[in-house]
Amino acid sequence: MKKLTVALLAVAVTVTGAFAGTSAKTFKETVAPVSECKFRDQELQVDAFGLGTFFDEGQPGWGGGLGVNYFFTKFIGVGIEQDLFGRDKNTAEWATAGNIFLRLPICSLNLAPYALVGGGAAYGGNRPGHGFGHVGGGLEYRVTNNIGLFSDARYVYSSVDPQNAVAVRAGLRFAF
């Protein structure tokens, strides 16, 4: 019986040695990648756009323009734009406007709805030079970190006839 006990004990020690070793289990923590927001602080933008202006009376105006915007934060920015549009074949009107933007980026969708308020001066065409104000809103979609598509509409009010209009813009936005 002693021999059997010693034999079983020897087998147990031998088998235990076969299973011995360093069992290193690693606990790797999976971290989801942080999605980078395409709308940044201190962002300079250059806009190129087509423009349609629909007045209370008469023919609509069609044209385009260029703009430059600067966002101090993701949410607040200022801009200036120069528009050229015509209501008939022989006349063209220039408009220079300044804007304040408030935007709310939805980074997961690369979208940024925004509101704008501003004003400026229009000159040329059949009307005397005059000042105007506007208020409106729009939506920007960022295709890449530096290229976006945008569209906005604004209600334009003025003291000269026709006094009121709706201006609609759509174009490309280059962000730096």
Q: Over the stretch 3-60, which tens digit does the pLDDT of each residue have?
A: 666 666 666 666 666 655 666 666 777 777 766 899 999 999 999 999 999 988 778 8
Is 19 within a domain?
no
Is 24 within a domain?
no
**C-alpha dihedral over 78, 145, 75, 97, to 10 degrees?**
20
Is 27 within a domain?
no
Is 77 within a domain?
yes
Provide the residue range defining the domain that includes 152. Answer: 43-175
Is 116 within a domain?
yes
Is 54 within a domain?
yes
Q: What is the 3-state secondary structure (H, E, C) of 69-136?
A: EEECCCCEEEEEEEEEEECCCCCCEEEEEEEEEEECCEHHHCEEEEEEEEEEEEEECCCCCEEEEEEE
Is 10 within a domain?
no
Confidence grade of residue 92 (pLDDT, cut at 50, 70, 90): confident
CATH number of the domain where residue 122 is located: 2.40.160.20
* DSSP code per residue over 17-67: HHH-S------PPP-PPPPPPSS-SSEEEEEEEEEEEEESSS--EEEEEEE
Q: How many structural domains is the chain composed of? A: 1
Q: Over the stretch 76-87, which tens digit does the pLDDT of each residue have?
A: 999 999 999 887
Residue that the structure tokens 């065409």 belong to: 125
Q: Looking at residue 126, what is its pLDDT?
A: 74
Q: Per DSSP, what are the bridge partners of residue 96?
A: 82, 121
Q: Over the stretch 129-164, which tens digit does the pLDDT of each residue have?
A: 889 999 999 999 999 999 999 999 999 998 887 678
Cβ neighbours of residue 53 closer than 8 Å, sequence gap 6 or more: 60, 61, 62, 63, 85, 156, 165, 166, 167, 168
Cβ neighbours of residue 21 closer than 8 Å, sequence gap 6 or more: none
Contact 125, 92 (CB under 8 A): yes
Give the phi and the psi of residue 18 in degrees, each rounded to 5.
-70, -35
Q: Looking at residue 24, what is its pLDDT?
A: 62
Is the bond into 33 cis (omega within 30 degrees of 0)? Answer: no
Pairing of strands 164-175, 147-158: antiparallel
